Structure 1
């Protein structure tokens, strides 16, 4: 049996951050249904798709799960895929790219699966040959990505609505060593429990992603308002609906921001961070300083210290960072009494050098490295 759905949506999330995304979706009124490994299932219409892409901070992309059916032969795959309403999403001559995964299925050759689905699209739309491999496409927003998944002979075909990954907000053109993706920075800020009214400090700010994302969050600035999306090329794109949603978010008046401080001992990183903050429109709301961890000067009122300090595999595998982490702990005990902390690290033993009681609240990967988020309160 072939199931065609137009309202089943899937928010793709870094595995381990599904609960953070779930909570954010609830805050935005998106009504998540179920958590799956690597994402959250929800339902909605075009307005929901636009709103999710515009506002979600923790999600990598939004997919429409277009069709689900049994397929144990290539002929069956092509026939059933050809029944899907491709004309709603693909314009004549528009480049398309496909990604296919096959698991425990008689159709186990991903290139063969892609070939048949491309054929099915041609069958539905007429002559259509503008299929390109993802690596050959310069601008992700100019092509339509289609995701095919076969598992136990059950095929799910999804349409991407986002284009470029959603962490590409458009402001981070300059990066320091081992940058943190914007979606991951937003996730650890939300997971930290920061309420947007207390001071926030990042003493290892690098190119500024954590303080910039915190400022955008506190100001209520939607992360997607300065970029393009795949759905903008669909034949049924509703520009007036999109413009109305932009007007809604741009009419929101933020409350007064708390103090947000960001520092790094690398002068080049601070220069990059300032440039990124300016592009994001939040440079007036962040105090950037070039200083070592020993020289931080947080305000007296307790706040949140949220940071992504260097760890060996991420920056220099030959460098012993235990002394830095021990110093970091001493500085926090001296300067940040009663502050909340959320610290990202790849090694629990390294995190233990800080000398604080930190609970592991998240586990995920950053740049291919397994990391944990340690949370606690400085005594």
Structure 2
């Protein structure tokens, strides 16, 4: 069974396009990783594994490699599965759940693979049948050309579920992507930030969490806390370090100027409720307002950072091209010297803002391909 001093072969999963940002996050935690497609591979101590879950703003989940072997028949699969250290990951009352993918392998029936692995895991650990379980532990099984890789999920619920977003507006932005936008722009807490289409408040709330140094996972539980190999003393030390880092960040950040605006009153209500749950409502200025009512909140230049509407037409029946053009006009006129970042699905729409943009991120938001475009709002003349 792994000890607190064990080293784990881990992989932090993220939405494709965010890998470099994730590698940078891990590096700041003192973890050296190798960028791959859809995430970052790294070797981690137990403490580093816990910290990666607590601190990553970009990762979707963190998995640990539990076993690697080859199997060309179900008999070979069962023999190999009996050598897996299931007892380190499955405690009494925990049911194993398997997410299986198979390609170019003799064993291709993913449901049957999961059933065999589950039966072996329950037999080896001697725990109650899965029907009596009170919790679940996810195992990710990848089969390529008869080679099996079994990884155990250390996160539990996906890491974008911070624990504060219960109220949503239309087309909510995933928290991990909002955090990636902030990291990609290099926004700093001493600069004001304005989101004119804040919706349920994801960008302003993530900015406040970043600015105050609060770990994104501070208000949630993780799968590793249910492992028989869980080290409570190590976890307590990670949390204590996080508390110290948050106190130090509070001394440095001073007064945050983070503004969220939306023309939809329901969106502002949702944003306010979410901000209160996240414990950052006192750092945010959230009000109902249209683009035409937008004003700089401070004399210091900062960022307009937003996720504008993607649809063909806005609720009032106006063309979205007009909305982007109006945003560009207000930004260029009133926010000269600022920077602007738009998360868009259509660069032709962004062109209506008449800002010289460059692409910082190419990723996805749900099923939609998106790009983060940034530019400078130059002073007239």
> TM class by shorter-chain length?
over 0.9
The reply on whether 1:89 has 2:89 as its aligned counterpart is yes
Helix, strand or coil: the match of 1:145? strand
Alignment of 1:211-230 (within 5 A): 211-230=204-223
In structure 2, the partner of 1:145 is: 138
Partner of 1:15, secondary structure, is coil
The equivalent residue for 1:328 is 327
- Counterpart Cα distance in 1 of 2:82 and 2:318: 56
- Structure 1 residue 226 displacement after superposition: 1.1
Match of 1:156 in 2: 149
Find the aligned partners of 2:341 and 2:304 in 1 and give their Cα distance: 6
Q: 1-side partners of 2:102 and 2:319: how far apart?
A: 42
Question: Higher mean Cα deviation, 271-280 or 64-73?
Answer: 64-73
Q: Give, in angstroms, the shift of residue 357 of structure 1.
A: 0.9
- 1:11 equivalent in structure 2: 12
Q: How do 1:8-87 and structure 2 match up within 5 A?
A: 8-32=9-33, 34-87=34-87
Q: What are the residue-to-residue correspondences of 1:1-379 with 2, within 5 Å?
A: 7-32=8-33, 34-126=34-126, 129-130=129-130, 142-252=135-245, 253=247, 254=250, 255=252, 256-298=254-296, 299-312=298-311, 320-379=319-378
Name the CA shift for 1:127/1:284 in 2 (closer, same or farther; >3 Å). closer
Residues 11, 60 of structure 1: 8 Å contact kept? yes
Structure 2 distance, partners of 1:314, 1:195, is 34
Contact persistence 1:185–1:209 (CA under 8 A) = yes
**Larger CA deviation: 70-79 vs 349-358:** 70-79
User: Structure 1: how far apart are the matches of 2:11 and 2:313?
Assistant: 30
- CA separation in 2, counterparts of 1:116 and 1:81? 9
For the residue of structure 1 that corresponds to 2:214, the secondary structure is coil
Distance in 1 (CA, whole Å) between partners of 2:377 and 2:127 is: 65
Q: Distance in 2 between matches of 1:161 and 1:314?
A: 42
Distance apart, 1:45 and its partner CA: 2.1
Q: How has the CA–CA distance of structure 1 residues 80 and 315 changed in structure 2, closer, same or farther, with 3 Å as cutoff? A: farther
How much does 1:320 deviate? 3.1
Report the 3-state secondary structure (helix = DSSP H, G, I; strand = E; otherwise coil) of the residue aligned with 1:175. Answer: coil
How many residues are aligned here?
366
Q: Look up the SS of the partner of 2:364 in the other structure.
A: strand
CA distance in 2 between counterparts of 1:315 and 1:69 reads: 54
Paired residues of 1:312 and 1:319 also in contact (CA < 8 A): no
**With structure 1 as the length reference, what TM-score do the two structures score?**
0.92
Q: Deviations over 1:232-259 (max 9, x none)?
A: 1111222222122212211232221431
Q: Using the TM superposition, give the Cα deviation of residue 106 of structure 1 relative to its aligned residue in structure 2, in angstroms.
A: 1.5
TM-score, normalised by the number of residues in structure 2: 0.92
Q: Distance in 1 between matches of 2:56 and 2:154?
A: 13
* Per-residue deviation, 1:315: 7.8
Distance 2:314 2:193 in 1: 25
CA distance in 1, matches of 2:115, 2:314: 41
Query: Closer, same or farther in 2 for the Cα pair 1:321/1:62, shift >3 Å?
Result: same
- Please list every run of 5 or more consecutive structure 2 residues that lacks an aligned counterpart in the other structure: 1-5
**More off after superposition, 111-120 vs 144-153:** 111-120
Q: Do 2:313 and 2:320's aligned partners in 1 also have CA atoms closer than 8 Å?
A: no
Alpha-carbon spacing, 1:63–1:131, altered in 2? closer, same or farther (3 Å): farther
Structure 2 distance, partners of 1:53, 1:375, is 29
Change (3 A) 1:315 1:166: farther
The CA distance in 2 between the partners of 1:131 and 1:105, in whole Å, is 30
Q: Deviations over 1:292-341 (max 9, x none)?
A: 0111111232101111011117988x973111011111011011112111
Shift of 1:171: 0.8
Over the aligned positions, Cα root-mean-square deviation in angstroms equals 2.0
